[in-house]
């Protein structure tokens, strides 16, 4: 059985970025009165990544409906741990698979902001 630690670590890192983006959501909602675009942090597995991207509010909310999905910049996908489920201009939506998907779902289950 392969070591699942890198997958678990990737899922936890991405969940952290998702939490940051949820905190920014209130500010983004104020700004959507002018534009329907959110500015969010890339939710890739690289904890050193500090890049941001713009995403339409409706797309962001659709991604949030699945605890296994994350928004990452092109080139920030981790093969074998996640698969691309949607491609957009400058970013992709990935879905965690295997053990990483399970970890991502469990982290959401424990987060009160998802209730």
Domain ranges of the chain: 5-110
What is the rounded CA–CA span in Å between residue 26 and residue 30? Answer: 7
pLDDT for the residue 110: 53
pLDDT for the residue 31: 61
**Which two structure tokens, joined as six digits, stand for 57?**
């509010």
What is the rounded CA–CA span in Å between residue 6 and residue 29? Answer: 34
Q: Is the pLDDT of residue 95 over 90?
A: yes
Mean of the pLDDT values across residues 11-19?
Answer: 75
pLDDT for the residue 80: 87
């Amino acid at each position: 059985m392969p070591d699942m630690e890198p997958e678990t670590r990737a899922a936890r890192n991405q969940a952290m970025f998702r939490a940051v983006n949820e905190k920014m959501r209130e500010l983004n909602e104020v700004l959507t009165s002018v534009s329907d675009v959110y500015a969010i942090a890339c939710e890739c597995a690289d904890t050193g990544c500090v890049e941001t991207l713009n995403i339409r509010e409706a797309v962001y909310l659709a991604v949030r409906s699945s605890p296994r999905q994350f928004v990452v910049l092109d080139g920030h996908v981790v093969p074998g741990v996640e698969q691309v489920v949607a491609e957009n201009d400058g970013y992709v939506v990935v879905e965690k698979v295997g053990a990483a998907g399970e970890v991502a779902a469990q982290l959401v289950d424990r987060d009160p902001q998802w209730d």
